[in-house]
Structure 1
Amino acid sequence: MSSIKPKNSIEFLLTGRNALFTDPITRIGGEKTSYHLPTYEALKGVCKSIYWKPSIIWVVDKVRIINPIRTQTKGMKPIRYHKDGNDLAYYTYLHDVAYQVQAHFEWNLHRPELEADRIDGKHYSIAKRMVDKGGRQDIFLGTRECQGYVEPCEFGSGKGAYDDIDELGYGLMFHSFAYPDETGLDELHSRFWHAVMRFGVIELPKPTDDLQADARNGMPNRFVRAMSAKTFELESNVEPVSQTEASL
């Protein structure tokens, strides 16, 4: 394996005691059961917690399952927002998870107002330092109550629980959200895909800003609701990097 890495790519080990990766439709209430695999959106959220600026878009390339897939069911008391008191529900979490993740960032071309922030090397250097520090913000594994931790690693190193299994199919799963600032549309869409794990590694398809092309390539999507992208301006409502770095 070549030691030369692209200057926009990071690799990290993601671990946690529990994880809950679900289809957003099931988050309304009642029982919740985790997918056996982390979703693209959840891993992208971890990358954004490590380091994010509106001028970049994180793309998750692949994830490797290190620990055996185990589940743990817990009795929970979710808040009833329509009336006082609590309900009793059972949530099925993944237990004792560990993943190796490889991801890279690309310029967000739907943010022309931030073109001056597309500086080669700057974002990569900061992202690498943030991986070493365990992330800029708290890491969550699908939901707030599932705390996660990141540290640097070399993707493919060590022994994984599924290295000797040639293929496992998981059917149709939620993939990610298509946000307005990444597609140029004033709409929010959800994407889906057919997940397959080969020798412990899941190659994650890269979403594009063309939803029709994604659908033709095996990634169907569904309209969720109308949504507009937030507008950013450099040195205005985005904290300067020099000021952020000085506080670390």
Structure 2
Amino acid sequence: MTNAGGTTVADHGEPHDDALGSRLNWLRAGVLGANDGVVSTAGLVVGVAGATSSAQALLTAGLAGLLAGSLSMGAGEFVSVSTQRDSEQAALALERRELDATPEAELLELTGIYQDKGLDPVLARQVAIQLTAHDALGAHAETELGIDPDQLANPWHAAGASFLSFTVGALLPLLGMVLPAASVRLYITVAAVLAALVLCGKVSAQLGHAPVRPAVLRNVVGGALAMGVTYLAGILLGATGH
């Protein structure tokens, strides 16, 4: 590949595509949403299993937890991303007004930013002029605000992804608890949940280019602890109820 000065530089195969980065972020969020669904629903149904062996009670509690969790995740993500998008749009609107009202001052500001990044004054001004001529708003928004005007987050996409990923994760412990025979349902659920947590931890670590073993260990220990605590609570509450 060639840099701005015409010099060929090595391409190390690193992903620089903004769209690719955005997709990876969504995928990572989906994995974490599924992980949430697995852990929270597993904790709920295992806790109920400690108090009662009724399949109807387990199904009711599991479905209630699935619906409450997925709707809460979806609504929360929608509100969060909508607020972020509103803030970004307000910042972009202000930047447009400043570019219209004081273009030379904005050019000087952009030049100064590139000088602070290490370019000499002449080259910094040349870069600022060329980028401004190509896409003034895009150049200023990305450099000054860290915002890509063409890549604003969609709150509906975020809400849908969170709702779906949580639901998929929650179905595993729910089905594991209500489908098998009563004598083995707890063991099957715990085994399935721990396997899913290993997978979620591994995938999330790989997507974030982080060490896999610590991520998997944290995930499994956290999930096992959650199930252990809720199961003990269920046993105590069940005994109290009798």
Larger relative CO (CA 8 A, sep 6+): 1 or 2? 2
Structure with max Cα Rg: 2
**Structure with the higher fraction of residues in strand conformation:** 1
Task: Report if TM-score (shorter chain) is over 0.5.
Answer: no
Q: What's the TM-score once normalised by structure 2's chain length?
A: 0.24
**Structure with the higher fraction of residues in helix conformation:** 2
Q: What's the TM-score once normalised by structure 1's chain length?
A: 0.23
